[in-house]
Amino acid sequence: MNNFKQKIFNNSWIELAARWILGLTFVYSSIPKILSLDDFARIVYGYDLFPHVLINLIAIIIPFLQLVAGLALIAGFYPRSAAIIINVMLLAFTAALMINIIRGHEFDCGCFSAGQSGYAGSSEVTVARDILYFLCGMLIILFKGHRKSFNGGLSSQRSP
C-alpha cells in the first residue's frame, strides 16, 4: 500500500496532471471575477463574514491570486508555492461555505462566476469539489520527484 502511495506521489505525469487541472480551474474561475469586480464584491458581501471595510479589497485581490497561482502551476513556476496559495484559498473557501451551511445561510459561492449564477443551495457539492482540489494541491506540495516542465518541450526538472 505504501509502495502504491509512493508511486502516485512520485509520478511526474500525475503531478503534471494535478498541476494542470488545478491551474486551469483556477485561471478559468478567476476570469469572470476579474471582468466584473463589482459583482464579485457583492458575492463576497453575501458570505456575510467579512468586515465591510475589507470586502472590496478581498474582491480585488482574490481573483488575481487565483490567476497568478493558476498560471504558475500550469507553467511549473514555483509550483509548490502556488499550490500552497491555492490550498490556503481552498481551505478559506471551504471554511466560509461550511459556516454558511451550518447557519443555514443561502448564498452564491461565486466559484466560477461573478454574477447571479444561481449557484445558491449547492454548497455541499462545492465543499466536496474543493476537497478534491485540495488533494490535488497536496499532491503537488508533497511531490518529491522530477517535475515536468516546458524547457523546450516536456522535460523533467528537480522539484523546487
> How big is the CA angle at 81 (ends 79 and 82), to the nearest 5 degrees?
60
CA angle 130/125/26 to nearest 5° reads: 35
Question: Counting contacts by CB under 8 A, is residue 114 touching another protein?
Answer: no
**Which residues in the 41-60 window bind another protein by CB under 8 A?**
41-42, 45, 52-53, 55-57, 59-60
* Residue 126 CB, nearest approach to another protein (Å): 22
Looking at the chain, which runs of residues are DSSP E strands? 146-150, 154-158
Q: Which is nearer to another protein, 22 or 69 (CB)?
A: 69
Q: Does 69 bind another protein (CB under 8 A)?
A: yes
61 is a contact residue toward another protein (CB under 8 A): yes
Phi-psi region of 69 (alpha: psi -120 to 50; beta: other; left: phi over 0): alpha
156 SS3 class: strand
Give the interface with another protein as residue ranges (CB under 8 A): 34-38, 41-42, 45, 52-53, 55-57, 59-61, 63-65, 67-69, 72, 78, 81-82, 85
